[in-house]
Amino acid sequence: MAYTTVNGITLHYEDLGTGRPLVFLHGWGTSGRVWDAQAADLMTDHRVITLDWRGCGRSERPADGYTLAQLTSDVLAFIDVLELDRPVLIGSSIAGAFTLEAALAAPDRIGAIVPVDAGVHHFSGLQDAMDKLLTDLRADRAGTLADFVPHWYRPGASAAMIDWTVRQLLESTFRIDGLVVDQAGYDPRGRVANLRVPTHFLHGELDTEVPLSVPRELTTLIPGARLTVIDGAGHMSQQDQADRFTTALRAALADLH
């Protein structure tokens, strides 16, 4: 267990193994623990770093900074603090946007990016749905998350795994809801043609939160980008089909040089 100070706040991370550095970024309200299966496998021949971003997991919960821009800044500052040499950024769900923005802002400091089940521009234009989610969260956070989170997983997924995810979300600060607002206005499609960092999307076949059309479109817009679909996996593909996901991630890493 390790902590460091980034942009004036304390962040928790795990740093395991040696070799090519991989920085794993969790999705909205969860923690670095969503990558446990991948960490256990990849630490044998990589340096695996799982970060709890601000407001989540065991990291500090400041009063502000819950925007795509600030979280991207935190990631880049974290890379500098740990003196990582061109790490691969692997980001689940909303953290896929962190990886894209970091690569656009600092291509010389990022070795490659792997957006995982990344919403990217999918929620832009869904203002009514985002407003309803925020209203429901404020009225009954526990009940709303209990209804919402099961849709992140494939049919038949472990109830215990879903319950664990809900608990992580409830333990995170409610201020992460600012990212729901921010993502509703986020659409980088006009800029991603400028991306010069190797990019490989991983996406669950059964993801009902973000359709496969999203990464498929982005692979046509980002020079050299590739996509691997994880069979039988939902939005949390790294947990839904952990073995298949890790195999696909290893193949993507071999391709990303």
CA distance 85 to 42: 18
Looking at residues 112-120, what average pLDDT do you find? 97
pLDDT digits (tens, 9 = 90+) for 160-176: 999 999 999 999 999 99
Identify which has the larger pLDDT, 128 or 66: 66
Asked if residues 89 and 53 have their Cβ atoms less than 8 Å apart, the reply is no
pLDDT digits (tens, 9 = 90+) for 18-70: 999 999 999 999 999 999 999 999 999 999 999 999 999 999 999 999 999 99
* b/e 190-223 (16+ beta carbons within 10 angstroms → b): eebeebebbbbbbbbbbbebbebebbebbbeebe
SS3 assignment, position 135: helix
Phi, psi of 18 (to 5 degrees): -135, 160
Domain ranges of the chain: 2-255
Looking at residues 102-122, what average pLDDT do you find? 96
Which residues make Cβ contacts (< 8 Å) with residue 137, sequence separation at least 6?
144, 145, 174, 177
Helix (H) or strand (E) holding 227: strand 226-230
Determine the angle formed by the axes of helices 141-148 and 159-171, rounding to 10 degrees: 140
Distances (CA, A) of 117 to 140, 151, 234: 27, 13, 8
CB 141: neighbour CB atoms within 10 A? 14
pLDDT of residue 161: 96
Task: Report the share of the chain in percent with pLDDT over 90.
Answer: 94
Cα-trace Rg, the chain: 17
pLDDT of residue 53: 97
Fold classified for 2-255: Rossmann fold (3.40.50)
pLDDT of residue 126: 85
Confidence class for position 128, pLDDT limits 50, 70, 90: confident
CA distance 1 to 246: 23
For residue 253, give the amino acid letter: L
